[in-house]
Chains A and B, each alone.
Chain A
Amino acid sequence: MDILVLILIVPFVFGAIMFMMPLHFKVLQNTHILLSVIVSAILLSAVRKVVEGNELSFFHHYLFLDSLGAIFLSLIAITGLLVNIYATTYMKWELEEGHISLQEVKNYFALSFIFTWTMSLSVICNNIAFMWAAIEATTLASVFLVAVKKDKKSTESGYKYIVLCSIGLAFALYATILLFSAGNGKVEGEAMLYTNLLAHAENIDGMALKLVFIFALIGFGTKAGLAPTHTWLPDVHAEGPAPTSALLSGVLLKCAMLGLIRYYAIVANGVGFDFVQTVMLVSATLTLFVASFFLIRQHNVKRMFAYHSIAHMGVIAFGLGVGGAIGLFAALFHCAAHSFTKALAFCSTGNIAKIYGTKDMTKMGGMIRIAPLTAVLFGIAICSLVGVPGFAIFVSEFLIFKAAAIEGQYLLMGIFALALAIIFIADFSHFFLATFGKVEGQVVHNKEMKLSENLPLIALAILIVSFGIWQFDSFTLLLNESVKTIMKQ
């Protein structure tokens, strides 16, 4: 059976199986881990085929997997698997503390497979309308991963999530329709296919393409958390369970960004890179400074990381804005680096909330003595987020500086450095507040989590450091091939 068909079927079937499982936590936990491993193995085997030089295609090229898609599919596989394993621990704690029922745990596990299914689908769609439908479906599949409980805050976060993302994505659908009608008759083959549109982008009317990109930026930018349409993100990421926030920030935002990158490639090759780069730079600068400003004021650890997600989407947009082969390489690398880092950051907030019974960092302190491993993992996430050398995010941020320097864009370098400096100061002050000194509030779980419970977090930390100091040939190959595809070299 074609591997793309397996991607299309297996996660959905697993979601249905989870819905039918008996209400027994151990059974649910083990099944969830086993099925997550199988899904990730399927996704990674598809990625391996692409690394080996095959471009996968199925159903009249409506589904395909190129190097660009393979990068994002590997994020779903790796980050998704580790977060799903951590989710079983987190849900056990929630169950023990009576915050959630067994039925809700079962629904959560089942929906996380449906969510994985929609995200994988959005990555492998060559038909731009299918891609839009899949990205919209990611919202629908994840609403009840966010609004797990039925209280006021949970309901409010679910409401804001679906309403704001649906409005935003409606503009992306208009972009899709307009791109199809502008490309119809101008491109060889079906004008709904991304590969056809990219191959013949120069034949499509320039004015239409510019309008398409603005609509796509509003639409996918809303979902990706770019300012000024980012307002749903802090509320949703802060309110959802820690594994949900990790999945949303670590994987989902990247899927929306992939949608935008595909439009970026088509429009850039149709009207020239100057237009898309300028638009992305405006959006990125706004996003970086809005996020930095709000980041300073946050004391809720999850809300702080939510604003970080916005800031780092700004970094990716900045890389796309600076452009050139290095800028694009950096933007794509940042997608992976941020995925691992943010998954670790949000999962560590799960541990932190268990220790202190609160997300308010002013009521923490002394974590290094209470739970040294969690403190170190939290520290690794923070170090990577602020771009400390030796951690994954440093690589992409350094490359963005390099790309700007090569282009002689010193003003951009200054703007980027200023935004990163604000983030650096805000983060470390928050980190010290929670980790060192004396405990300001109460400690409800006065010990470290079990090693087995921390294993997914340790794996994420290893990935962050590995990507910071090591060059993985197969991953670099995917990045280089993707840059060539975008630049049509």
Chain B
Amino acid sequence: MEHMIDIVTVLMMGTSLAVFGLRQYKLSILAYSLQTLLLVTVFLLLHVKYGAHELLIWSATAFVMKVVFVPLYLLRLVKKLGVVVEDEPVGGFFISPVVALSFSLAIAMMFYKVFMHFSLFQDDLPLFAASFIFMMGIFGFVLRNSFIKQILAYCLFENGIHLSLALMAYNSHELVEVGILTDAIFAVIIMSILAKRFHASYGSLDTSKAVNLRG
């Protein structure tokens, strides 16, 4: 069981690099869907290992909302906008994943030991993965110029937080998870509406063109 959880969380880390680095939107969204499926698997494994029945409900809601709904919604958005490949990120397609990967690893290395000290579940690799995925999301916002990629970056760090929540606060009131998940879903929907407006105004999804308000 221990190894299973470790293997799945390592796969989650791999998929976060795929979400971040893949140039084709469709593949990137599918990688996110896969990552969330792995997140659901971690919830189920933690449920089996620790008997945490709360995580059973979490896995069901996460599956419906994040494995199915969000990816479908984003795929529809991409299709509607008629975009296939993302705009060039900061530092180019090769440099930006390397920068994100190295800095995320370093920061996760720094923080996971602190989290480990207080975590309800003392699983070191999943705690490390949670911090790593969160930071990959943050770097996604900083380094990728595409609006869609930034929505996916939001989804990434939300997955990191969701995993942290499961490991560190699974026994909090069920409404806590519902509240956080609802916010995340609405954030994706609102960002998608803005992405459509952005595409209509600027003729592209390149957010580096948003310089009209500087001063």
Binding site for B on A (CB under 8 A): 62, 127, 129-130, 132-133, 136-137, 140, 143-144, 147, 150-153, 155-160, 162-163, 166-167, 170, 173-174, 177-178, 180-182, 184, 190, 192, 205, 207-208, 211, 234-235, 238-239, 298, 300, 303
Q: Which residues of A contact B200 (CB under 8 A)?
A: 150
Q: Which residue in A130, A160, A163, A180 is a CB contact (below 8 Å) of B175?
A: A130
Q: Across the interface, name the chain A residue whose C-beta is closest to B191.
A: A162
A152–B201 CB distance below 8 A? yes
Given known pairs A173-B161, A192-B173, the reply for A238 and B180 (CB within 8 Å) is no
Smallest CB–CB gap between A228 and chain B, Å?
A: 14
Query: Which residues in A have their C-beta under 8 angstroms from that of B172?
Result: 129, 180, 192
Among A130, A133, A207, A298: residue with most chain B CB under 10 A: A133
Bound together, the chains give a CA A300 to CA B157 distance in angstroms of 36
Q: Which residues of A contact B158 (CB under 8 A)?
A: 170
Query: What would be 9 A-B contacts, judged by CB atoms less than 8 Å apart?
Result: A140-B190, A144-B190, A151-B201, A156-B213, A170-B161, A177-B169, A182-B118, A184-B118, A192-B176
Rounded to whole Å, the gap between the CB of A150 and the closest CB of chain B is 5
Q: Which residues of B contact A133 (CB under 8 A)?
A: 176, 179-180, 182-183
Give the CA-CA distance A147 to B213 in the complex, in Å.
Answer: 13
Flag B185-215 by CB within 8 Å of A: 1 or 0 each.
Answer: 0110011001001101110000100101101
Q: How far is the CA of A184 from the CA of B198 in the complex (A)?
A: 44
In chain B, what residue has the closest Cβ to A185?
A: B120
Tell yes or no: B128 within 8 A of A by CB.
no
Closest A residue by C-beta to B175: A130
Residues A129 and B176 in contact, CB atoms below 8 Å apart: yes
Contact B141 A163 (CB under 8 A): yes
Task: List the A side residues contacting B175 at CB < 8 Å.
Answer: 62, 130
Q: How far is the CB of B175 from chain A (nearest CB, A)?
A: 7
With a cutoff of 8 Å between Cβ atoms, the chain A residues found around residue B183 in the complex are 133, 136-137, 140
A130 to B174, CA, bound (A): 11
Instruction: Pick the contact of A180: B134, B168, B186 (CB < 8 A).
Output: B168
- In angstroms, how far is the closest chain A Cβ from the Cβ of B54? 13
B28 at the interface (CB under 8 A from A): no
Chain B binding surface SS class = helix
Contacts of A300 on B, CB cut-off 8 Å? 215
Q: Is A159 in contact with B190, judged by CB distance below 8 angstroms?
A: no
Q: Does B80 contact A (CB under 8 A)?
A: no
Q: Is the CB of B213 within 8 A of A155?
A: no
Q: Which residue of chain B lies nearest to A204 when distances are taken between CB atoms in the complex?
A: B118
In angstroms, Cα B172 to Cα A130, docked, is 11
Contacts of A136 in B (CB 8 A): 183, 187
Query: Cβ of A238 and Cβ of B213 under 8 Å apart?
Result: yes
Taking a contact as CB atoms under 8 Å apart, the answer to whether A140 and B187 are in contact is yes
Q: Is the CB of B213 within 8 A of A129?
A: no
Checking B147, B157, B168, B191 against A177 with a beta-carbon cut-off of 8 angstroms, the contacting residue is B168
Residues of B with C-beta under 8 A to A132: 180
Contacts of A178 in B (CB 8 A): 114-115, 118, 168
Q: How far is the CA of A157 from the CA of B194 in the complex (A)?
A: 10
Contact assessment for A181 and B138 in the assembled complex, using a CB-CB cutoff below 8 Å? no
- Residues on the A chain within 8 Å of B179, using CB: 129-130, 133
- Given A140-B187, A235-B213, A167 contacting B118 (CB threshold 8 A): no
With A130-B179, A174-B134, A178-B115 in contact, do A156 and B212 touch (Cβ < 8 Å)?
Answer: yes
Extra contacts, 12 of them, besides A162-B190, A181-B168, A184-B169 (Cβ < 8 A), are A127-B173, A133-B176, A150-B197, A150-B200, A160-B213, A162-B187, A163-B191, A166-B154, A167-B138, A177-B164, A181-B115, A303-B215
Tell me, rounded to whole Å, the shortest Cβ–Cβ distance linking B20 to chain A: 15
A147 to B201, CA, bound (A): 13
Give the shortest distance, in Å, between B11 (CB) and chain A (any CB).
Answer: 23
- The answer to whether A163 and B150 touch across the interface, beta carbons within 8 angstroms, is yes
Q: Which A residues are in CB contact (< 8 Å) with B3? A: none
Q: Name the A residues within 8 Å of B10 (CB-CB).
A: none
With contacts A174-B161, A177-B165, A181-B168 known, is A155 near B176, CB below 8 A? no
Cα distance A153–B194 in the bound complex, in angstroms: 12
Establish whether residues B176 and A160, one from each chain, have CB atoms under 8 Å apart when the complex forms: no
A208 touches B118 (CB 8 A): yes
Cross-chain contact B169 with A211 (CB below 8 angstroms): no
* B104 contacts A by Cβ under 8 Å: no
Interfacial chain B residues near A157, Cβ < 8 Å? 213
A463 CB → nearest B CB, Å = 31
Question: Which residues in chain B, 130-158, are within 8 Å of chain A measured between CB atoms?
Answer: 134, 137-138, 141, 147, 150, 154, 157-158
Residues of B within 8 A of A152 (CB): 201-202, 212
